Amino acid sequence: MKKTILFSKKPAITMTFEEVRNRFLPMLVKTMKIANQRFIFNAIEEDDFQQILEIELWRAYEQYSSENGTCFSTYLFYKLQKGVRNATYHKYSLKNQGIIVSMNTSINKEDFKLEDILADNDASMNNLETNELSYLIIQNTSDHEKELLSILLDKQTFTVNSYAKKHGITRQAANQRVIKFKKKLQKIIANEYLGIS
Domains in the chain: boundaries: 3-92, 114-193
- Residue pair 34/75 in contact (Cβ under 8 Å)? The answer is no
- Per-residue confidence of the chain (197 residues) as pLDDT tens digits? 899 999 888 899 999 999 999 999 999 999 998 888 877 667 788 899 999 999 999 999 999 998 888 889 988 988 998 888 888 876 655 444 444 445 555 555 555 555 555 544 444 445 555 666 777 788 888 888 988 988 888 888 889 999 999 999 999 999 999 999 989 988 887 777 666 65
